[in-house]
């Protein structure tokens, strides 16, 4: 009998979720690891264990309860957790992430069981390297970091936002097979301006207001420099920072480090994928459409920027592309007389009469596509949809805000108010809609089609940077994988049931682009897809004897 592949013994093995097999240890392993009597004297298959998990989940009455159960499973048996999630992604991804994750974050301090990830406080300035070295894994490949400043459409949740990087990194593995060992969720705690949490005795973060921008950025500078030293192959994924900070931090680091912002670039990538397929349905090109965004924060501007890059690929100049994109925010239409705009918004402030009326803006601009990133539930009213439908025979309506109650309109509203003419997708999953004898399949413009594939491509190639070209390629790859019969029913994105294969194909195309751009840290293989597949995590127990 060979020696076990771990130095841990006894309870130490059972307390390590990466090693624990619970009831799946063989007799030889129980003897070798010194756990005889510490686990039931049986050897169960993973299939039988999964059957038990599914049975126990069936007794839970809410998705929040199912989330809590699954996270508890992850804390004890990592392999079985991922075996469960990957067995039926269409069922489980909405539980471990959107839309359930919104409720999780709102209640994070109250449902907290055990720490997961790293909590880096601004009060540790000058000692960030030391804190990072406390992480038990030496070769961290991705850090998903939030400051909790703008969680989903829920606002400043402070430390409660830690549920987001935890969930995002679970999707790296469950959707694209990125090995979980090299993934670190992080909450960068610079305080919160949420008075409710500052007064909550169960709140888990610093009880102080957020610092001035200069102080925050100085701390993030130290963090980014420390990451390069402690984890030299690490890519930093920024998630759910406030709009201006999200854009400016990306600008600050993107040409210096391996870094990206999923809210800016990932949201843009998945929306671009939907637009590509919507244009296929219409028989138009991206350059033929006129765009009006409701919402001009980091997500909206990031989306507009990537869209303009794609329009330039189709032959427009950047100025022509930007002229085709209009934006509307809480203070009205972005137009050239506005003095309250951020630098990154100004390219979309065109000459136009000031207006705070979204419907009036539609009538004036005559867009063929409206894109909602406003977090204002119901903002795409019946008047809006009917007006848009009078302008264009097949209007494109993307209601991207989430959770569900923040969606600008529902799928049923979009189809009914447009008399079945609309091409629709949302940031959350809506059920199929029956209208006038036709079944419409609304797609979900969910970033999990994009960022896990980007992650796998970066992981496999050890990419040095993550430029926008990778997100454009990912968008094209996702769009190309929608079957023709589903596309004809209005489904703009691939089925979630086969998400791993979809992501592997997307990651292969992104990795190929990384090699083409000279950004890879490994030699280019003859078969890029084989390189990707060689890194895909398989949720199977390791053998110890």
Q: Which residues are catalytic?
A: 97, 168
Spell out the residues 6+ positions from residue 342 whose beta carbon is closer than 8 angstroms to its own: 244, 247
**What is 2-17 written as a DSSP string?**
PPPS-S--THHHHT-T
Encode 53-91 in three state secondary structure. Answer: HHHHHHCCCCHHHHHHHHHHHHHHCHHHHHHHHHHCHHH
Q: Which of 341, 348, 303 is nearest to 323 (CA)?
A: 348
Asked if 235 and 260 count as a contact pair (C-beta separation under 8 A), the reply is: yes
| C-alpha span between 304 and 367 (Å, rounded) | 14
DSSP at 200: -
Element (H, E) at 389: helix 382-391
Q: Which of 365, 367, 400 is nearest to 385 (CA)?
A: 367
Interior angle at CA 541, CA 536 and CA 545, nearest 5: 125
Buried/exposed code over 304-321 (b: 16+ C-beta within 10 A; e: otherwise): bbbbbbbbbeeebeeeeb
């Amino acid at each position: 009998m060979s020696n076990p592949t771990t130095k841990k013994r006894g309870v130490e093995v059972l307390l390590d979720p990466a090693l624990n097999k619970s009831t799946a240890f063989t007799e030889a392993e129980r003897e070798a690891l010194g756990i005889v009597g510490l686990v039931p004297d049986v050897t169960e298959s993973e299939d039988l264990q999964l059957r038990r998990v599914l049975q126990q989940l069936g007794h839970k009455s809410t998705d929040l309860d199912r989330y809590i159960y699954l996270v508890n499973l992850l804390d004890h048996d990592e392999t079985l957790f991922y075996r469960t999630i990957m067995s039926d992604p269409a069922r489980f991804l909405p539980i471990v992430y959107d839309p359930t994750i919104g409720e999780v974050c709102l209640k994070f301090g109250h449902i907290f069981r055990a720490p997961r990830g790293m909590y880096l406080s601004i009060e540790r300035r000058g000692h960030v390297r030391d804190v990072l070295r406390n992480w038990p894994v030496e070769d961290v490949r991705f850090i998903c970091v939030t400051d909790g400043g703008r969680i989903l459409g829920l606002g400043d949740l402070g430390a409660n936002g830690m549920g987001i990087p935890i969930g995002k990194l679970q999707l790296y593995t469950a959707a694209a097979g990125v090995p979980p060992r090299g993934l670190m969720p992080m909450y960068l705690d610079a305080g919160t301006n949420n008075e409710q949490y500052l007064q909550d005795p169960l709140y888990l973060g610093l009880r102080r207001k957020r610092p001035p921008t200069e102080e925050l950025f100085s701390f993030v500078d130290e963090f980014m420099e420390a990451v390069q030293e402690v984890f030299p192959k690490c890519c930093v994924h920024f998630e759910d920072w406030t709009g201006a900070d999200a854009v400016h931090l990306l600008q600050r680091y993107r040409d210096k480090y391996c870094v990206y912002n999923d809210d800016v670039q990932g949201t843009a990538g998945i929306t671009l994928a939907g637009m590509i397929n919507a244009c296929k349905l219409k028989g138009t090109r991206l350059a033929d459409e006129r765009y009006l965004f409701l919402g001009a924060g980091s997500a909206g501007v990031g989306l507009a920027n990537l869209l303009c890059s794609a329009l330039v690929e189709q032959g427009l100049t950047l100025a022509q592309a930007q002229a085709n994109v209009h934006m509307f925010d809480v203070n009205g239409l972005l137009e050239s007389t506005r003095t309250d705009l951020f630098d990154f918004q100004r390219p979309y402030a065109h000459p136009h009469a000031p207006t705070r009326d979204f419907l009036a803006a539609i009538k004036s601009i005559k867009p063929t596509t409206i894109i909602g990133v406003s977090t204002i539930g119901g903002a795409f009213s019946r008047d809006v949809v009917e007006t848009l439908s009078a302008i264009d025979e097949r209007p494109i309506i993307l209601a991207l805000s989430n959770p569900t109650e923040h969606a600008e309109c529902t799928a049923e509203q979009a189809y009914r108010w447009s008399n079945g003419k609309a091409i629709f997708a949302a940031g959350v999953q809506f059920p199929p809609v029956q209208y006038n004898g036709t079944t419409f399949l609304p797609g979900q413009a969910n970033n999990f089609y994009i960022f896990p594939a980007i992650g796998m491509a970066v992981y496999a190639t050890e990419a040095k940077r993550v430029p926008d070209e990778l997100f454009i390629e990912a968008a094209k790859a996702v769009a190309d994988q929608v079957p023709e019969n589903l596309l004809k029913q209005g489904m703009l994105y691939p089925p979630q049931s086969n998400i791993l294969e979809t992501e592997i194909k997307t990651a292969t195309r992104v990795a190929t682009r990384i090699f083409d751009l000279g950004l890879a840290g490994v030699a280019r293989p003859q078969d890029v897809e084989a390189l990707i597949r060689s890194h895909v995590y398989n949720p199977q127990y390791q053998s110890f004897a």
